[in-house]
Amino acid sequence: MPVSTSPQGTPLWQRRTTRAQWLQYAAWMMGMSLFLLCWKVISDNTMWVFVEDAGRQGSDLISRMLPPRWEYASVLWKPMWDTLNIATLGTALGIMMAFPVAFLAARNTTPHPLVRSVALTIIVSSRSINSLIWAMLLVTILGPGVLAGIIAIALRSIGFVGKLLYEAIEEIHPTPVEAISATGASRLQIMNYGVLPQVMPAFAGISVYRWDINIRESTVLGLVGAGGIGLQLNASINSLAWNQVSVIFVMIFVTVLVSEWVSARVRHAII
């Protein structure tokens, strides 16, 4: 905080020193230049012939999609139901595995720093791989089908739920935990009485939020053969049946909308 004195003797205050101010201008300048440079590189690498008729291609695609072939919906109920099941069972499985991992990963509840680093590794490796990639791996191992989808969703959810939950555990109020320890409670009792009630709202909120995300993710798992509506989407695109693709889009859109509404209501009720 640069403070100086004016010729009249009144103290002056500026937010930054002149030097810091110039450095800031320079940083902005560099950032802008980098952005423009990247813009140029991308522009040079774009085949503009394809972009120029983008409007025509786009409207062509839309005209093929319309009107949607609504009869096709009758084939979709079963895969849609599979998709919901993959999301829900996968989330449940993921939460069950994430719950103990989070307690082992939180600094204030972990039994040993070594255990903590193992738990953190589990969380990071689960998070670093997208569920689509998990599904690809699992389809190779387990064969195509709903099971591979469920496990893919579960494995991806461990990292998400585990990370947010362990952060919630680290942010709890320490005094109730102290008070429960002072009664002579055992470690598990301290978790049960001191920690768990404090993280319960966060835990419920995180779980419902992850379920909501998983519904969206499970709609594409079929692209790699892991069951659900993505299988039909893939088949329709491959056979250029665009009027079926639009039906699938509408269906996914409505499902996601409903799941968002449900998760918002549940979170509101808990918190």
Partner 1 sequence: MLTLTGVGKRYPTGDRALDDIQLSLPKGQVMALIGPSGAGKSTLIRCVNRLVEPTQGSIRLEGTELTTLSGNRLRHARRSMGMIFQEYALVDRLTVMENVLSGQLGYVGFWRSFLRRYPTEAVAEAFRLLERVGLPHAIDKRADALSGGQRQRVGIARALLQSPKLLLVDEPTASLDPKTSRQIMRLIRELCAERELAAIINIHDVALAQQFADRIVGLRAGQIVFDGQPSELTSDILTTIYGEEEWDTSPEPVEEVESIEEIGHHHGQRPYATPRPLTGLASGGAR
Distance CA(244)–CA(247), nearest Å, equals 5
Q: By CB under 8 A, is residue 198 in contact with partner 1?
A: yes
Contact residues for 40 (Cβ-Cβ < 8 A; gap 6+): none
Rounded to whole angstroms, what are the CA distances from 7 to 13, 16, 183, 256, 266?
14, 20, 67, 66, 64
Q: Select from 8, 45, 74, 175 the one that contacts partner 1 (CB under 8 A).
A: 175
Nearer to partner 1, 129 or 270 (CB): 270
Q: Select from 29, 179, 254, 257 the one that contacts partner 1 (CB under 8 A).
A: 179
Which of 156, 122, 125, 121 lies closest to 226, judged by CA? 156
Q: Is the dihedral of CA 246, 247, 252, 255 positive or negative?
A: positive
Q: Is the dihedral of CA 190, 196, 198, 199 positive or negative?
A: positive
Site string for partner 1, 199-238 (x = CB under 8 A): -xx-------------------------------------
Residues 179-216: b if buried by 16+ CB within 10 A, e if exposed: ebeeeebeeeebbebbbeebbeebbebbbbbbbbbbbe
Q: Select from 181, 237, 243, 270 the one that contacts partner 1 (CB under 8 A).
A: 181
Nearer to partner 1, 111 or 197 (CB): 197
Find the shortest distance in angstroms from Cβ 195 to partner 1: 9
Q: By CB under 8 A, is residue 178 in contact with partner 1?
A: yes
Find the shortest distance in angstroms from Cβ 175 to partner 1: 4
Q: Select from 65, 176, 237, 262 the one that contacts partner 1 (CB under 8 A).
A: 176
Q: Which residues share a beta bridge with 12?
A: 4
Q: Select from 193, 204, 216, 249 the one that contacts partner 1 (CB under 8 A).
A: 193
Find the shortest distance in angstroms from Cβ 173 to partner 1: 8
Residues that bind partner 1 in the complex, under the rule CB under 8 A: 175-176, 178-186, 188-189, 192-194, 197-198, 200-201
